[in-house]
Amino acid sequence: MKNSRWLSVYAVAAYAFLHLPLVVLAVFSFNSSRFTQWEGFSLTWYKAAFADTQLAEATGNSLLIALAATLLATAVGTLGAYGLWKRNSPWITTSLYLSLVTPEIVMGISLLALYQWIFRYLAIRLGMHTVILAHVMFCTAYVVTVVSARLRAFDASLEEAAMDLGATEWQAFLRVTLPQLAPAVASAALLVFITSFDDYVITSLVAGVDSETLPMVIYAMARKGFNPSVNAISTLIVVALGGLILVSSRLERNEAER
């Protein structure tokens, strides 16, 4: 199935729409002025961003949290979607729905209340672990939603055929169903990574002294208005992660061609 010319033209326009603000951000990260008029090329803001150890630490925290949340939420969510596909469980489905419709601030406050209640009995504090758990919580529903959408287009007879041929349930799941789900699982993981990486509301409430994340630092900086250092960091992150994606898709292509 090839893309028609119209669809390709449309896609170019859509990508332009998605990337335009990003290009603007990147361009103005090289502006010598702090303000929004262009006043000449400069690397001042990159130097400032690199000199900032708090930023580096927050970036590390954010990546770690997003990675952990992605791995856990994708695993829990994919298994959950599969389990629900086998046979629906009304209370899990309803809870997932509810978690999707819960305003972020409410989720943050309620988790904070829960943590504080637990902390009365256990000698632990807010930190990376509490943030990761919170992220896994609100991201799992995304995974289930995306993976379930794919599962509904999946032909159950394939799995039955595998079992008729002597595969156990687990083998059928791992060898037949899961590979079919791979693109949906990958999309879900991407969605989780980005949602987690970007979350501010819930994170700021359940983060402790040691778990400041990048959005928290960026909020603090951007609060005072436009700040080119923030653009510089954003540009660096996009270039770094974008580069990784490019490299990995190149690797994948080579693998496929082999």
Partner 1 sequence: MNRRVFLLSLPGLAGCSRSAGRRLNVLNWPEYVAPETIPNFEREFGVKVRYGVFESAEEMLARVMSGNSGWDVVFPTNYFVQPMVELGLLAPLDHSRLPHMGVLDRRFQSPPWDKELRYAIPYMWGATGILYQSTLAPAPGAWADLWAPGFRGRITMLDDPAEVIGACLKKLGYGLNSEDPSQLARAEAEAARQKPMLRAYVNEIVRDQLVAGELLAAQAWRSTAMRAMETAGDKLRFVYPREGYPLYADNIAILRESKRSQLAHDFIGYLTRPEVAARIALTKLESTCNASARALLPAEMRNNEALYPPRGTLARGEWFRPLSAKAQRLRDRIWTEIKSA
Partner 2 sequence: MNRLRFWCLTPAGALLGGLFLIPLGIIFAYSLLTRGPYGGVFSPLTWENYSRLADPLYAAILWRSLLYAVIVTAICLMLGFPLALFIARAGRRRNLYLSLVMVPFWSSFLVRTYAWMFLLRDTGLINSALLAAGVIREPLTLLYTPFAVILGLVYGYLPFMVLPVFATLERLDKSLIEASADLGATPGATLLHVIVPLSKPGILAGSILVFISSLGAYLTPDLLGGGKTIMIGNLVQNQFTTARDWPFGAALSLILMLVVMGLLVPLQRRGSEGLL
DSSP symbol at 175: I
Cβ proximity to partner 2: between 61 and 235 the closer is 235
Question: Is residue 147 within 8 Å of 189, Cβ to Cβ?
Answer: no
Helices (H) and strands (E) in the chain, counts: 12, 0
Of the residues 64, 128, 137, 176, which one makes contact with partner 2 according to CB under 8 A: 137
Cβ proximity to partner 2: between 53 and 88 the closer is 88
Of the residues 10, 38, 97, 226, which one makes contact with partner 1 according to CB under 8 A: 226
What are the φ/ψ torsions at residue 41 (nearest 5 degrees)?
Answer: -75, 140
228 touches partner 2 (CB under 8 A) = no
Q: List C-alpha distances in Å: 136 to 31, 76, 92, 133, 143.
A: 38, 9, 16, 5, 10
114 touches partner 2 (CB under 8 A) = yes
DSSP symbol at 173: I
Cβ proximity to partner 2: between 103 and 166 the closer is 103
Cβ proximity to partner 1: between 19 and 125 the closer is 125
Query: Residue 41 pairs with which residues in a beta bridge?
Result: 31
What DSSP string describes 23-79?
HHHHHHHTBSSSSSS---B--HHHHHHHH-HHHHHHHHHHHHHHHHHHHHHHHHHHH
Among partner 1, partner 2, none, partner that 58 touches (CB below 5 to 8 angstroms by kind): none
Site string for partner 1, 104-143 (x = CB under 8 A): -----x--x---x--x-----xx-----------------
Q: What does the binding site for partner 1 look like in residue numbers (CB under 8 A)?
A: 34-37, 54, 57, 60-61, 63-64, 67, 70-71, 109, 112, 116, 119, 125-126, 186, 189-190, 193, 204-205, 208-210, 212, 216-217, 219-221, 223-226, 241, 244-245, 247-249, 251-252
